[in-house]
Structure formats: structure tokens, C-alpha cells
Amino acid sequence: MRSKLLRYTAIAVVGAGLLSACQTTGSNKYGYDYSADVCKVQRDRLLEQQDYFAEDLIKGVVGGAAVGALAGVLGAAITGGDIGEGAAIGAISGAVAGAGAAYFNHVLKESGNQSRLLSTILLDMESDAERLARTQRALDALIACRRGEAQTIRANVRAGTIDAATGRTQMATLNKKLREDLRVAREINGNVAERRTEFRVAAVQVGAVPGSRPPPRTSVSSAPPAAATAARPTVQVTAENKPTQAKIGQTYTTLEKRSVAVDSKVTELASLEQSTAGDGGFSTSWLPGAPAISLAVTPMPAKVGACGVCSGS
């Protein structure tokens, strides 16, 4: 009995340790040294969110399953039950097909009971909702920092602290950094959209948000289109789990709102990047004494003969 307990406990602990190691390595970076960047702190905060949203949802579930298996082992040992059965997580039948169903099917299989299924979905959703709030704050701070950087360059040229050529070089460097910022932000946005699709499928399948089936096909081409029908959830939630089901619906609504807010910030960052591109960074009223003149190179006038316009020629 003791040897079996130690064996199952070791398996669960090692599995959890390996997953933890995977989560702490391979941190994504910009690919070059930016230690002197005035916005380094803001960049790093955005990179933290990039790493989080790049993680596969199912990996998080596997990590929870490893901890759950360990709890099952210890619980079975305390109650005198069979350790092997206590460590195993039973599968629930009823997997669904279609895009975005991988997460739900995995949680469905690993949960073993309805309460754990709903709790896992809710906790994962709450984690993403909190991370989306962090992402919005990170983007707000980075945008403010980059905008201040551009304003400083323009102010220095106006004040004569730096010449126009230096200002142009600094603005080009800023634009390069903004392009990298935008690349990271767009990657986050894409991963957020994928995860939200997974969560929506899960929420629909547990009846937390309304879903719909496509209208049935008809062989008569002239027939009016059939209305979509309400999709019946795969999991029929008991009265005991209704509060968790309701929280899943509320949290999914929060996810949608925060996803839209993050998308808006990515658009704002893209607009800032465009405003510093090429002569766009130097094109309007901030120039001293010449509000409408840009720093673009002005072509030299054509040479004229010494006599000017000579008569009789």
C-alpha cells in the first residue's frame, strides 16, 4: 500500500514539475538588445501577456489534471480507497465536433464530473479575463510612452537641441521599435481571438451562453431560408451547479468586452506607428517657423545661364 502511494504521488509531482518547467522557459523576446529603450518596462509588461496568450489552453488543463491526480491519490490513501482508481479521472461521453471544440472536449474528458468540468472552465475564463485587463493596461502604458518619445524628438528639433537630420534618424529608430511593438500586439490579439472561440464553444456546451445550429438544408432552391435553431447544450447542468453556470456566462461577457478593448488599443498602436513612418513623423505644424513645411529634401532649382533670359537669342 505504502509503495503504491509513493509511486503514484511521484508520478503526479514529476508531471506537474515538468509542466511548470515548460511554462517558465522559452520566453519570447524582440530578438535584439533593447536595454537602453526608454519604454523597456512597458515593453516587458506587454511581452508577459504575449507569453501567456501564446500558451495552449489545453496545456493549462493538463497541469490542473496533474494536480488533481495528486489530490486523488492522497484522498484515496486517507479514506482507504484504491489509489489507482483515485488517481484516474473518468471520461464523460459526449464530445462535440467543429472548430474551437478541442478545449471543451479535453476538459470534458479530463474532468470526470460535472462540478469539476464547470469549475475548470470558469477558472480558465477568469484567468483570461484578468490577463486581458493587464494587456489593455500594458498597451495603454506603451502607447503613452511611445507617444511621449515622438513628442520629445519633435520638441528637440523645434528647440534646436538636435538638427533635422538627427531628428529624422531618431524618428526612424522609433518607428522601427513601434513596428516590433505592433507585431507583438497583433500576435496577442490573434491568440486572444482563438482562445475566445474555444471558450465560447465551452460556454455554449454547458448552457452558459446561447448557441445556435445552422438552419437545415432544403432541396427546394426557391424555399425561404430556414431559421437557425437553438443548440442544445451537451451538458445538462444540475441545480447544484447552476450558480457556476451563471458565472461562466457572466465571465464570457467580460471576456468579449475586454477583447474588444484590447483590439481597439492595437488599432491605436497601429495609428501611432503610421504617424512616425517616413516623413509622416516630420510633416506638419511642429516645425519652427514653417508650419506646413516638411523635412523632405527639396530639389535644387535648374541652373540658368549668366545672362539670364537673353534677348535676341
pLDDT band at 265 (very low <50, low <70, confident <90, very high): very high
Report the alpha-carbon distance of residue 290 to residue 284 in Å, rounded: 9
**Of residues 170, 135, 166, 131, the one with CA closest to residue 149:** 170
E strands, the chain, are: 212-213, 229-230
pTM here is 0.68
Q: Which residues contact 115 (CB under 8 A, 6 or more apart)?
A: 240, 241, 244
Q: What is the mean pLDDT of residues 138-157?
A: 96
Is the C-alpha dihedral spanning 67, 72, 78, 83 positive or negative? negative
- The rounded distance, in Å, linking the Cα atoms of 149 and 175 is 11
Model confidence band, residue 157 (pLDDT cutoffs 50, 70, 90)? very high
Lowest mean pLDDT among 90-94, 144-148, 197-201: 90-94
DSSP states of 246-298:
HHHHHHHHHHHHHHHHHHHHHHHHHHHHHHTSGGGGG-STTSTT-TT--SSPP
pLDDT of residue 255: 97
**Selected residue with higher pLDDT from 73 and 182:** 182
Task: Round to whole Å and give the CA distance between 30 and 48.
Answer: 12
What per-residue confidence (pLDDT) applies to 223? 52
Q: What percent of the chain has pLDDT over 90?
A: 53
Domain ranges of the chain: 40-56+92-212+232-282
Q: Inform me whether the pLDDT recorded for 299 exceeds 60.
A: no
Q: Which of 33-42, 81-90, 105-114, 209-218 has the lowest mean pLDDT?
A: 81-90
CB 294 within 8 A of CB 282: yes
Task: Determine the Cα angle at 56 with ends 54 and 58, to 5°.
Answer: 160
pLDDT, mean of residues 156-178: 94
Asked if the model's pLDDT at residue 295 lies above 50, the reply is: no
Residue bearing the bigger pLDDT, 146 or 20: 146
Kindly give, in sequence order, each residue whose CB lies less than 8 Å from that of residue 293, ignoring residues fewer than 6 positions away. Answer: 287
pLDDT of residue 301 exceeding 60: no
Asked whether residue 237 carries a pLDDT value surpassing 80, the answer given is yes
At residue 96, the pLDDT reads 82
Q: Which of 206, 184, 187, 205 is nearest to 195 (CA)?
A: 187
pLDDT of residue 105: 94
3-state secondary structure of 101: coil
Count the helix, strand and coil residues of the chain and give each as a percent rounded to the nearest 5: 65, 0, 35
Residue 83 has pLDDT above 50, yes or no: no
What is the pLDDT averaged over residues 146-154? 96
**pLDDT, averaged across the chain:** 75
**The predicted structure's pLDDT at residue 311:** 43
- Name which residue leads in pLDDT, 202 or 217: 202
Least confident range of 30-44, 170-184, 255-269: 30-44
